[in-house]
Amino acid sequence: MEYYSKTINHLIEELSRLPGLGAKTASRLAFHIINMPKEHVHSLADAMTEARDNVRYCSECLTITDEDICPICKSNKRDHRKIMVVEESKDLAAYEKTGQYDGVYHVLHGVVNPQLGITPADIRVKELIKRLEKDVDEVIIATGSTTEGEATAMIISKYIKPSGIKVTRIASGVPVGGDLEYVDEVTLLRALEGRVEM
């Protein structure tokens, strides 16, 4: 039985497609949006459309940005000889919140997962290897502590080691099976400081 009009049901349905939103949360958001001032709703819709239309990958590190090169890669205050490899852009953001890492990043956009058919060719490993042709001293592998994250770290390490570039892995202050996005800044900082050579 339909409780709401077609328009409200359509809004709830669209919101429930967002990750982590169930029917109840989608309903609450729908009613919140309906009760917002019209100009706020238009501003929200415009922001979503603008982000979808203009956001792309940084040509250097592959994080999401609305410019060709992201602000981190552009900065001459960053150590471009040190590259931290992360799974997703949200992991980069987590490390940036510590305020202690001064190098640059490389975003893989996933991890190797043979069960799902995801190989090194399906994530941005080739682009990382290409970046190593420049003057790089260290690659810090900061993939998650999941089985897939560990496997990805080992594979990347095997690709890089023959080049003579130092390869380190973040320390295990990050919980096994944990998602970097949800780890606090102090734990991330300890993991970074306690990294070990692979």
Over the chain, what HEC string results? CCCCCHHHHHHHHHHCCCCCCCHHHHHHHHHHHHHCCHHHHHHHHHHHHHHHHHCEECCCCCCEECCCCCHHHHCCCCEEEEEEEECCHHHHHHHHCCCCCCEEEEECCCCCEHHHCECHHHCCHHHHHHHCCCCCCEEEECCCCCHHHHHHHHHHHHHHHHHCCEEEECCCCCCCCCCHHHCCHHHHHHHHHCCEEC
pTM of structure: 0.74
* 132 pLDDT more than 80: yes
pLDDT at 33 over 90: yes
Residue 7 has pLDDT above 70, yes or no: yes
Counting residues of the chain whose pLDDT is more than 90, the rounded percentage is 59
For 11-15, 174-178, 179-183, which range has the lowest pLDDT when averaged over its residues? Answer: 174-178
- pLDDT band of 5, cuts 50, 70, 90: confident
> Which domains, and CATH codes, for the chain?
6-54 (1.10.8.420), 64-197 (3.40.1360.10)
> Mean pLDDT, to the nearest integer, of 21-47?
93
The pLDDT tens digits of the residues spanning 93-130 come to 988 988 889 999 999 999 988 888 888 888 999 999 99
pLDDT value at residue 116? 87
Q: What is the mean pLDDT of residues 134-142?
A: 93
Which phi and psi (to 5°) does residue 56 adopt?
-145, -175
13 pLDDT exceeds 70? Answer: yes
Q: Is the pLDDT of residue 1 over 50?
A: no
Residue 174 has pLDDT above 60, yes or no: no
Here the tokens at position 82 are 């040190």
